[in-house]
Amino acid sequence: MSTFLGMPAHAPRGVGHLRGDEPFPAAARTALANPQLRRNLEHATTTIRGKSGRVIAEVPDWQELRSAGSALKTYTMANLPRLLEQLEEKVTAAGGVVHWAADAEEANRIVTGLVRQTGEQRVIKIKSMATQEIGLNEALGEAGIDPVETDLAELIVQLGHDKPSHILVPAIHRNRSEIREIFLREMPGVDPALTDNPADLAAAARRYLRETFLSTKVAVSGANFGIAETGTLAVVESEGNGRMCLTLPETLITVMGIEKVVPAWQDLEVFLQLLPRASTGERMNPYTSMWTGVTPGDGPQNFHLVLLDNGRTAVLADEVGRSALHCIRCSACLNVCPVYERTGGHAYGSVYPGPIGAVLSPQLTGIEDNATLPYASSLCGACFDACPVKIDIPSILVHLRNQAPHPRAEKAAMAAAAYTMDRPRLYRRAQRAAKLTKLLGRRGRGLPPPLNGWVASRDLPSPPDESFRDWWRGR
């Protein structure tokens, strides 16, 4: 375990996928110009929203469950060092090996080294946000190891040389005819007569994956929960491919963010009720796999747990921002977000898109590297209402905006506005000057950026002849 003294470090640059190439507004513009993407997104998010809403309505104590989830997470964050050590102790006692990774580079080095030790050239992967965050597939590739994604949607993304755009439905931006084309082009041994019928597409993927499962000796997974009390790791998924990866290979390497620890076995009672209903709109998720270290003669005989920090301790240090670590990656906030629904996930530049990405990515990287993300929200509050662990995302957004670097012209304008607003006489004069905006016309001729963004689609209001306070005076 590396020792770090002083302020906790952020996720390092140059490795992993937490930073985009462009600021959010520019990336969003590209996405908005793609009508097919917008149709796919609207259809997919509307469908999940409806499904999830219906099954949540069946639970009479949903609000109490949310509060319980939130309380458990708050407790966990307040006791994180102790719980992590307890987890390490229990996993070790059960025959696993625990590794501590301060950042993405260290985690990649550890995993690559472990795979090398096995002498294998290929690993199968369970869908995992943490390994995407650190860019593990790229690191393995550089080391001559071939990672194969086994989650259907992740496989589509991988074969399409694409990036995931949703936490849970990584290929949400693709429709079935696009998927057919990708399979025909990239999938080894695919039937050239493949149709775009969803059942056919799934069957093609199954044939390809079954072979891979049976012939690969190392698997890499993430974890939804790590139980400190027992040393048990848990992965929840819908397809069963994850379970194949967790049971068939000889070696299993799990990369888990340190915030995924939960105190006790019984706590899963709360999370396993919240997660499926909020995420996929299912009453119970189809596959819940749990394992504790190594069981002789059953499943992988070598188990490694890599505990990943990569900026999480820095998030924990922020009293308001730390609740972003409570996230259980259900993606409900994405599905209800009016911004996400229109821009899709790529615009956020990070593996964590949508509202949770807008508060998590800038905190993991340091705000300078993701300065526009906290502004990628109209603060409509739909995410807060949807979040099964009650993360107050709008408040964190506002908090992060207060830390973000501000454009110089904006800073000057804001200072002038605040100065005026704190001096009623000056304010009154400014109100009278507001009438001058009439000169701009309703289309705001000559307005400088960013104000011209308003008149690109909206007329300016026509200023009144007299302000309210002038009217009140003359009354």
Strand order in the sheet with 218-221: 97-101, 302-308, 251-257, 218-221, 122-125, 146-149
| Helix axis angle, 198-215 to 176-186, nearest 10° | 40
The option from ligand SF4, other proteins, none interacting with 342 (CB < 5 to 8 A, set by class) reads other proteins
Q: Which amino acid is at 433?
A: A
Ranges of H-type helices in 33-148: 35-57, 62-78, 80-93, 104-118, 129-133, 136-142
Give the contact letters, 347-366, x = binds to ligand SF4 (CB under 6 A), - = no: ---------x----------
Closest CA to 150 of 33, 218, 240, 236: 240
The minimum distance between CB 190 and ligand SF4, in angstroms, equals 33
DSSP assignment of 121-132 equals SEEEE---HHHH
Distance in angstroms (rounded) separating the CA atoms of residues 93 and 465? 79
Reported as type and span, the H/E element at residue 101 is strand 97-101
The option from ligand SF4, other proteins, none interacting with 417 (CB < 5 to 8 A, set by class) reads other proteins
Distance in angstroms (rounded) separating the CA atoms of residues 449 and 231? 55
Other Cβ atoms closer than 10 A to 301: 14
Instruction: Among 145, 236, 386, 400, indicate the residue that binds ligand SF4 (CB under 6 A).
Output: 386
250 three-state secondary structure? coil
Between 144 and 453, whose beta carbon lies closer to other proteins? 453
Segment interacting with ligand SF4 (CB under 6 A) among 75-83, 92-100, 280-288, 382-390? 382-390
Between 292 and 437, whose beta carbon lies closer to other proteins? 437
Residues of the shown chain interacting with other proteins in the complex, contacts defined by CB under 8 A: 24-25, 28-29, 32, 38, 338-339, 342-343, 372, 374-382, 384-385, 395, 398, 400-404, 406, 410-411, 414-415, 417-418, 421-422, 424, 427, 431, 434, 442, 450-451, 453-454, 456-461, 463-464, 466-469, 471-472
Between 92 and 437, whose beta carbon lies closer to other proteins? 437
The minimum distance between CB 326 and ligand SF4, in angstroms, equals 7
Between 287 and 427, whose beta carbon lies closer to other proteins? 427
Distance in angstroms (rounded) separating the CA atoms of residues 293 and 300? 9
Distance in angstroms (rounded) separating the CA atoms of residues 410 and 291? 53
The minimum distance between CB 224 and other proteins, in angstroms, equals 28
The option from ligand SF4, other proteins, none interacting with 282 (CB < 5 to 8 A, set by class) reads none
Task: Indicate the burial class of 327 (C-beta count within 10 angstroms; 0-12, 13-18, 19 or more).
Answer: buried
The minimum distance between CB 455 and other proteins, in angstroms, equals 8
Between 301 and 403, whose beta carbon lies closer to other proteins? 403
Q: Which residue has the tokens 């006692």?
A: 93
Q: Which residue has the tokens 């294998």?
A: 120
Query: Contact between 300 and ligand SF4 (CB under 6 A)?
Result: no
Between 13 and 458, whose beta carbon lies closer to other proteins? 458
Please enumerate in sequence order all residues whose Cβ is within 8 A of that of 145, keeping only pairs 6 or more positions apart, or say none. Answer: 112, 115, 116, 120, 121, 122, 123
Segment interacting with ligand SF4 (CB under 6 A) among 261-269, 298-306, 311-319, 328-336? 328-336
The option from other proteins, ligand SF4, none interacting with 176 (CB < 5 to 8 A, set by class) reads none
Segment interacting with ligand SF4 (CB under 6 A) among 19-27, 381-389, 406-414, 446-454? 381-389
The option from ligand SF4, other proteins, none interacting with 303 (CB < 5 to 8 A, set by class) reads none
Strand order in the sheet with 261-262: 261-262, 225-227, 232-237, 287-292
Let me know: does 173 contact 41? Beta carbons within 8 Å: yes
Number of residues that bind ligand SF4 (CB under 6 A): 13
Site for ligand SF4 in 391-410 (CB under 6 A): 391
Instruction: Among 238, 331, 343, 365, indicate the residue that binds ligand SF4 (CB under 6 A).
Output: 331
Instruction: Among 130, 234, 327, 400, indicate the residue that binds ligand SF4 (CB under 6 A).
Output: 327
Question: Which residues of the chain form contacts with ligand SF4 (CB under 6 A)?
Answer: 327-333, 356, 386-389, 391
